[in-house]
C-alpha cells in the first residue's frame, strides 16, 4: 500500500480510465490536469482517433482544454487492453443500461472486471464509477479481483465513487462537484481518497461501497419521483382547467419546504429513467418492493402518450385528424442544449404519432441525424418555415430555438416545456402540457 500511495502522491502512478464517454472523458481530463499521465481505454475507434488528435467529441469538454494535454502526452487513448498491465490505477466508467426486460445489464462491468483481472498485478487500485445496484462492487468486482489470491486492502484496493455528471451544466463540472467515495475496506478508502483528493475539490467519504452505490440511486430516484409528481400534477391541472407551470412557479416562491420540479414530455438520458430501476430490481431480488420508484416510472413512462393525446386534441380543435397531418418535433435531445438523445421521449412520441398515420419530421440544431429505436432520419434546417406543418411539438427547448419566429409562423404549437410563456403569440394556437 505504501508504494502505491507514494506513486499517487508523487503523481507518477499510471492511470487508465475504461470508457471515454460523458463520464470518462471529463474525468480523464481532470486526471491529466492534476499532473498524472492518463490513458483512456476505449473500444470506439472514432473516439480513440478524436482524442489522440486532441479533438473533443463531448460538448462539456472543450477541445481547447483537451488538446494541450494530448500534445504534452499526458493524455491519450487506445483500444488495446494491454495498457492495464502497467496501470497502477484503473477507473471504470462503462455504460450500465437496462436489458429488454428492464433488468440491469451488467455485461460491460463484467467485461471490464474480467479484463482488469487478466492483467492484474500487486498494488493496483480499481475504482468503479458506473451507476449500478447496491452490492455490485462487493459481489462482482471484488471476487474477480481477489480470485488470484490477492488480499483486499493489502495487494488489491477496490472502491466505488458514483459519477455526478450533469451534461450542459456550466456551473458544476467534475472538479467542483463534491465526490462521494466508498472503499471495500478502510485501506481501500484511504488509497482511493489519496487519488481523488488531487482531482476533486471536496470528497465525501462514506462507510462502504454499498453506501456509495446507494447514494447515487437516492439522488436519481429523488429526481425521478419528484418529476413523476410534477407530471401527474400537470395532467390533473389540465383536467381542472389550471395551468400547471403557473401553479409550480407560484408554489416555488415559498422560501421553505418546497423545491420546484417541472413537468415534461417524459424522462430521458443515461441516468434518471434507468438508475432507479436498478434499485427496484435489487429490492425484488430481496422479495421487497420499491413502490415510489415503480409508480414514478409508470407516470413518467406514460408522458409521451399524454403528449400525443394533447397533440391529437389540438388538431381535433382545428378539425384535423392526426392521420395525414404534417407534424414537426422540435428537439430530440433528452434535455436542452445537449446533443445526447439516449432514452429521449421524442422517439416514443414520434413512433406513436406515426402509428396514428401522421407524417413526422424533426428539427434539432445539435443533432443532425438520429438512429434510435428503429428511427433513422435527418434534422431539418433551422431556417425551415414552421408554417408548412399542421402542428409543431416542442419536446426539447434548446436555446437555439427561434421562439419568436416559431410563434409567428406555426399554425399550431404543442409546448411541452412552457418555452413560449414569455413570447408574444396567439394563445389560441398554443397547447400546453
249-286 pLDDT, tens digit per residue, is: 999 999 999 999 999 999 887 777 788 888 788 888 88
Going by C-alpha positions, the residue among 136, 158, 178, 183 that lies closest to residue 279 is 136
The predicted pLDDT at position 322 comes to: 97
Q: How confident is the model at residue 102 (pLDDT cuts 50, 70, 90)?
A: confident
How many angstroms separate the CA atoms of 210 and 366, rounded? 37
> Considering its fold, how many domains does the chain have in total?
3
**Coarse DSSP helix, strand, coil percentages of the chain, rounded to the nearest 5 percent:** 40, 15, 45
Nearest to 93 by CA among 145, 12, 15, 152: 15
Place 227 in a pLDDT band, splitting at 50, 70 and 90: very high
The active-site residue, picked from 38, 93, 188, 271, is 271
Claim to verify: residue 22 and residue 130 sit in the same structural domain: yes
d(CA 196, CA 194) in angstroms, rounded, equals: 6
**104 and 213 both lie in a single domain:** no
Per-residue pLDDT of 414-426, as tens digits, reads 999 999 999 999 9
**Domain end: 301, 330, 356, which one?**
301
Task: Check whether 89 has a pLDDT greater than 90.
Answer: yes
What CATH number should be reported for the domain holding residue 368? 3.40.50.720
Residues 225 and 257 in one domain: yes
- Rounded Cα distance, 256 and 187, in Å: 41
Phi, psi of 16 (to 5 degrees): -120, 130
- In this model, does residue 342 exceed pLDDT 90? no
Give the cell for residue 72: 504534452
pLDDT-based confidence at 66, cuts 50/70/90?
Answer: very high
Which range marks the domain in which residue 7 is found? 2-207
Residues 177 and 73 in one domain: yes
- Helices 275-285 and 209-239: crossing angle in degrees, nearest 10, is 110
Please report which helix (H) or strand (E) contains residue 158, including its range.
strand 156-160
More confident residue, 401 or 102: 401
Q: What is the average pLDDT across 389-405? A: 96
Domain closes at, from 237, 269, 301: 301
Q: Are residues 295 and 308 in the same domain?
A: no
pLDDT higher than 80, residue 341: yes
**Would you place residue 168 in the very low, low, confident or very high pLDDT band (cuts 50, 70, 90)?**
confident
| 52 and 171 part of one domain | yes
Question: How many whole angstroms from its chain centre is CA 99?
Answer: 17
Compute the distance between CA of residue 38 and CA of residue 199 in angstroms, rounded to an integer: 13
224 and 288 assigned to the same domain: yes
Q: Say whether both 110 and 42 belong to one domain.
A: yes
Q: Could you tell me the CA-to-CA distances from 392 to 312, 345, 423 in Å, in that order?
A: 12, 16, 16
373 and 428 both lie in a single domain: yes
The percent of residues in the chain predicted with pLDDT above 70, rounded, is 100
pLDDT at position 286 is: 83
Active site residue 271: yes
Last residue of a domain, one of 148, 177, 207: 207
CA angle 9, 12, 18 (to 5 degrees): 100
DSSP count for the chain of H helices, then E strands: 15, 15
Alpha-carbon gap, residue 48 to 28, rounded angstroms: 13
How large is the average pLDDT for residues 392-400? 96
Mean pLDDT of 114-138: 95
Taking residues 189-205, what's their average pLDDT? 97
Model confidence at 375, pLDDT cuts 50, 70, 90, reads: confident
User: What percentage of the chain carries pLDDT values higher than 90?
Assistant: 83
Mean pLDDT of the chain: 93
**In which element (H, E) is residue 107 found?**
helix 107-118
How large is the average pLDDT for residues 293-306?
A: 93
Rounded mean pLDDT, 407-412: 96
> What is the distance between the alpha carbons of residues 182 and 162, in angstroms, rounded to a whole number?
9
Closest by alpha carbon to 303, among 360, 252, 344, 364? 344
> Do the beta carbons of residue 330 and residue 392 sit within 8 Å?
yes
Of 164, 144, 173, 194, residue with least CA distance to 1: 194
Residues 91 and 55 in one domain: yes
Read off φ and ψ for residue 229, nearest 5 degrees.
Answer: -65, -45
Q: Quick one: pLDDT at residue 242?
A: 95
Give the gyration radius of the chain's Cα atoms. Answer: 24
For residues 95 and 121, state if they share a domain: yes
Express each pLDDT in 18-60 by its tens digit.
Answer: 999 999 999 999 999 999 999 999 999 999 999 999 999 988 8
Least confident of 17-31, 98-112, 181-195, 405-419: 98-112
Same domain, 245 and 358: no
Say which range, 97-106, 149-158, 325-334, has the weakest mean pLDDT.
Answer: 97-106
**What is the model's pLDDT at position 46?**
94
Amino acid at each position: 500500500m505504501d508504494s502505491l500511495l507514494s506513486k499517487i502522491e508523487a503523481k507518477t502512478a499510471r492511470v487508465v480510465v475504461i470508457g471515454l464517454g460523458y463520464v470518462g472523458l471529463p474525468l480523464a481530463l481532470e486526471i491529466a490536469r492534476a499532473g498524472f499521465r492518463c490513458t483512456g481505454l476505449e473500444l470506439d475507434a472514432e473516439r480513440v482517433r478524436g482524442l489522440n488528435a486532441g479533438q473533443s467529441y463531448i460538448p462539456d469538454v472543450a477541445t481547447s482544454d483537451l488538446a494541450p494535454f494530448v500534445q504534452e502526452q499526458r493524455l491519450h487513448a487506445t483500444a488495446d487492453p494491454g495498457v492495464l498491465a502497467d496501470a497502477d490505477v484503473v477507473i471504470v466508467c462503462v455504460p450500465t443500461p437496462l436489458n429488454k426486460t428492464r433488468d440491469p445489464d451488467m455485461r460491460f462491468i463484467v467485461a471490464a472486471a474480467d479484463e482488469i483481472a487478466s492483467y492484474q498485478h500487486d498494488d493496483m487500485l480499481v475504482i468503479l464509477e458506473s451507476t449500478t445496484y447496491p452490492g455490485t462492487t462487493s459481489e462482482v468486482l471484488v471476487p474477480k479481483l481477489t480470485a488470484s489470491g490477492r488480499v483486499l486492502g493489502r495487494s488489491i484496493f477496490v472502491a466505488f465513487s458514483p459519477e455526478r455528471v450533469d451534461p450542459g451544466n456550466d456551473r458544476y463540472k467534475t472538479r467542483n462537484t463534491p465526490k462521494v467515495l466508498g472503499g471495500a475496506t478502510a485501506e481501500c478508502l484511504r488509497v482511493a481518497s489519496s487519488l481523488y483528493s488531487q482531482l476533486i475539490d471536496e470528497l465525501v467519504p462514506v462507510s462502504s461501497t454499498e453506501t456509495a452505490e446507494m447514494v447515487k440511486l437516492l439522488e436519481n430516484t429523488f429526481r425521478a419521483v419528484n418529476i413523476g409528481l410534477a407530471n401527474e400534477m400537470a395532467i390533473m391541472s389540465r383536467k381542472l382547467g389550471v395551468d400547471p407551470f403557473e401553479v409550480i412557479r407560484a408554489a416555488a416562491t415559498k422560501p421553505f419546504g418546497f423545491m420546484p420540479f417541472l413537468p415534461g414530455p417524459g424522462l430521458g438520458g443515461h441516468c434518471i429513467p434507468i438508475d432507479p430501476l436498478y434499485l427496484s430490481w435489487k429490492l425484488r431480488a430481496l422479495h421487497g418492493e420499491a413502490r415510489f420508484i415503480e409508480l414514478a416510472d409508470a407516470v413518467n413512462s406514460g408522458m409521451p402518450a399524454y403528449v400525443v393525446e394533447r397533440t391529437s386534441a389540438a388538431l381535433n380543435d382545428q378539425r384535423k385528424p392526426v392521420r395525414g397531418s404534417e407534424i414537426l418535433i422540435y428537439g430530440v435531445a433528452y434535455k436542452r442544449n445537449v446533443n445526447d438523445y439516449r432514452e429521449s421521449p421524442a422517439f416514443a412520441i414520434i413512433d406513436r404519432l406515426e402509428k396514428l398515420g401522421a407524417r413526422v419530421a424533426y428539427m434539432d440544431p445539435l443533432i443532425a441525424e438520429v438512429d434510435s429505436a428503429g428511427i433513422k432520419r435527418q434534422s431539418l434546417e433551422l431556417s425551415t418555415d414552421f408554417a408548412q406543418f399542421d402542428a409543431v411539438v416542442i419536446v426539447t427547448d434548446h436555446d437555439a430555438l427561434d421562439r419568436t419566429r416559431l410563434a409567428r409562423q406555426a399554425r399550431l404549437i404543442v409546448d411541452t416545456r412552457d418555452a413560449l410563456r414569455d413570447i408574444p403569440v396567439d394563445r389560441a394556437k398554443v397547447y400546453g402540457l
